[in-house]
Structure 1
Amino acid sequence: MWKDDIESASRPLYPMMLESPELRWSFIRKIYGIVSIQLFLTIVVASVVVTVHPISHFFATTRVGLAIYIVLIIAPFIVLCPLHSYYKRHPLNYFLLGLFTVTLAFPVGLTCAYTSGKVILEAVILTAVVVISLTLYTFWAARRGQDFNFLGPFLFGAIIVLLLFSVIQIFFPLGKISVMIYGGLASIIFCGYIIYDTDNLIKRYKYDEYIWAAVALYLDVINLFLSLLNILRAADRQ
C-alpha cells in the first residue's frame, strides 16, 4: 500500500508536467487541508448562529442588527485587502484567512437561520456530491490532457451578469421564479468555477499562493451551497 502511494505521487498530474509530481501533490493536499478547516469553521459558526435564536432575532428585528448585518456582508471583502498584501507572511496570512472565513461564515449562518432544516440538509448533500464529483472529474480530465483555462473569460462575464441580476432583484424583486432562475444560473456558474479553480490548482498556482488557492476553492463551495439553498428554499415555499 505504501509502495502504491509512492508510485501514485510520482506520476505526472497532467501531460508535459515539468515540475516534481511529489511537490505538486503535497501542495494540493495542503490546499484541501486548509479548505477543510475553513469549511469546518464555517459549519461551527453557522451552527451557533442557527441554534442560538436570540442572534437571528436581533438581526431580524432591530435597526442596529440590520446595520451590523450589512457590515458583516462587506467585511469579508475588506479583509481580502490586507490578505492580498500579506498572503506570503506567515502566520499573519493564516490569521487573516481565519478572520475572512469567520466574517463570511456569519452571514451564511444568518441565511440558514431563516431556512428549514430539511432544505439546509438537502443543500449540503447536493453541494458535497457536486463538489466531489467535479473535483474527481477535473483530476481525471487533467490526466488526459484536457485544459480548462479557456473558461476564465466566460466565467468572469457570467459573474458580471449575475451581479447585475442580483442588483436588479434588490430594487425590482421579480418573485420566486426569478429567485429560482438566479439560483440555477449561479449554481451552473460556480460549478464551472470549481472546475476552473481545481484545474488552476493542479497546473498553475505557485507554491507560495496556497492562501489564494484556498480562498478561491472555499468561495466556490460556499457560493454553490448558497445558490442551491436559494433554489430549494424558493421551491419549498411554493
Structure 2
Amino acid sequence: MTYEGSQHSDARGSRSKKKKKKKKVNMFQQQQQQGYTRAKTEEFDLESGETLYPGLSLGENQLRWGFIRKVYGILSAQIVLTTIVSLVTVFYSPINDLLKGNSTLLLFLLFLPFIFLIPLLKYQQKHPHNYILLALFTVSISSTVGVTCANTDGKIVLEALILTSGVVSSLTAYAFWASKKGKDFSFLGPMLFTSLFTLFLTGMMQMFFPLGPMAHAIYGAIGAMIFSGYIVYDTDNLIKRFTYDEYIGASVTLYLDILNLFLSILRVLREANN
C-alpha cells in the first residue's frame, strides 16, 4: 500500500471514529434532555399541589408569592409604626394631655387620615411618594389609636391585642387554605359593604343620640364580625385579584381591617368591663 493510500485509509478510519463519537455525544445529549424533561415534569407534579389556587401556573405562582410577601412586609412595618406611635402617645404625658384636653385637635386628627388617604391612593404606584404618604397616613391614624388606648385600662388593651392577633392569624390561614382548595369569597363584597355602611351611619348617629353601655358592646361586636369578614375577603383579593402594582393599596386595606378589628374588640371588652 502506498503512503497516499495509507493516508486515505487513516482518514476514513478517523472519520468513522468521529462519527461514532458524534453518535455517542448525541445519544448522551438526548439522554440528558430526556432526563431534564423528566425532572421538570416531576418538579411540576410535585409543586402543582402547592399553588395558591387551582389553575395558577408555577411561574405566576412564584410571582404572586413575591407580591404577597411584599405586601405583608409593608403591613408589618405599618403595625410596628402604629405600635411605636401609640406607645409614645400613651406614655408621654405632654402629648397625651394635649390630645385629651383639646377636642378640636382631636377632631382634626380623626379626619387627618382621610386627607392623606386620597393622595396615597392616587400616587400609590409612584415611588417614593407612595411610601412617604403611607408613613404619614399611618402616623396620623396611629395617634388616634394611641389616645383610645390611653383612655383604656392597660389589661383590656393587652387582651384586645392578643385576641386580635389570634383572630387575624386564624382567618388569614383559613383564607389561604380555602383559596388553595378552590373556594372564592368575592360574593362577600356587597354584603360586607352594606354592613359597613350601616355601621358607619350608626356611628354617626351616636354623635347626636348616644348609645348605652349594652348598645356600645353590641355595636363593637357587630363591627368585629364585619371586619373579620373583611380580613377573609381582602386576603382572598390579595391572593387572586390585586395587581402587582397595587401593593400599597393592598397593605392599606389589610391594615385598616386589622386596626378596625382591634378597636371593635377593644370597645366590646371595655364596655363589658364597665
TM range (shorter): over 0.9
Q: Could you tell me which of 32, 57, 62 is aligned with 2:72?
A: 32
Larger radius of gyration, structure 1 or 2? 2
Partner residue, 2:180: 143
Name the structure, 1 or 2, with higher relative contact order (CA <8 Å, separation 6+): 1
8 Å CA contact retained: 1:9, 1:21: no
Check if 1:207 corresponds to 2:248: no
Q: Tell me, what secondary structure is at the counterpart of 2:245? A: helix
Equivalent residues in 2 for 1:185-204, closer than 5 Å: 185-204=222-241
Deviations 1:65-106 (A, max 9, x none): 211111111011111111122111001100001110000000
Match of 2:6 in 1: none
Contact kept? 2:100, 2:106, Cα under 8 Å = no
Q: CA deviation at 1:8?
A: 6.3
Deviates more, 1:195-204 or 1:165-174: 165-174
Paired residues in the alignment total 229
Unaligned 5+ segments in structure 1 are none
Q: TM-score of the superposition, structure 1-length normalised?
A: 0.93
How far apart are the structure 1 equivalents of 2:107 and 2:47? 47
Matched-pair contact (CA < 8 Å) for 1:180–1:234: yes
Matched, 1:56 2:96: yes
Query: What letter matches 1:159 in structure 2?
Result: L
Matched, 1:71 2:111: no
Alignment partner of 1:12 out of 38, 51, 66? 51
Give the Cα separation in 1 of the matches to 2:48 and 2:141.
34
Measure the CA separation in 2 of the matches of 1:203 and 1:90.
Answer: 24
- In 1, Cα distance between equivalents of 2:66 and 2:173: 17
Matches within 5 A, 1:35-184: 35-61=75-101, 65-184=102-221
Q: TM-score, normalised by structure 2?
A: 0.81
- Letter of the 2:88 counterpart: V
Give structure 2 stretches of 5+ with no counterpart.
1-42
Q: Could you tell me how far apart the structure 2 residues matched to 1:23 and 1:221 are?
A: 25
Q: 1:16 to 1:77 in 2, by over 3 A?
A: same
RMSD between aligned alpha carbons? Answer: 1.6
CA distance 1:135–1:8, shift in 2 (3 Å)? farther
Q: Amino acid of the residue matched to residue 200 of structure 1?
A: N
Q: Is the 8 A contact 1:9 1:25 kept in 2?
A: no
